[in-house]
Amino acid sequence: MLQGLTGWHLLIVLAVLVLLFGATKLPALAKSVGQSARVFKNEMKEMKRDDEVSASSTEAPRAPETGTASTAAPEPRRSNDTAI
């Protein structure tokens, strides 16, 4: 797509940018673009971190090891039939 661009093409694009925005506005525009890119990058890092945290919290709990006795008493069974 951009294989045919040469140095002259880039120079023309730069000249058009200077004419459109003016030389005084270009540093502010570049600073704004840089800040936006930095915010986007930080948000992407936080989204990855959130995904890792949610993935680790949804893992299945481990089965209890064999040979360890449970101290809790078993719950009594409940009947589905109700007497009237």
Q: What is the per-residue burial (b if ≥16 Cβ within 10 Å, else e) of 32-49? A: eeeeeeeeeeeeeeeeee
SS3 annotation, the chain: CCCCCCHHHHHHHHHHHHHHHCCCCHHHHHHHHHHHHHHHHHHHHHHHHHHHHHHHHCCCCCCCCCCCCCCCCCCCCCCCCCCC
Cβ contacts of 65-73, under 8 Å, gap ≥ 24:
none
Residue range 40-84, pLDDT digits in tens: 999 999 999 998 888 887 765 555 566 555 566 666 666 665 655
Residue range 17-42, pLDDT digits in tens: 888 888 888 888 889 999 999 999 99
- Evaluate if pTM is beyond 0.75: no
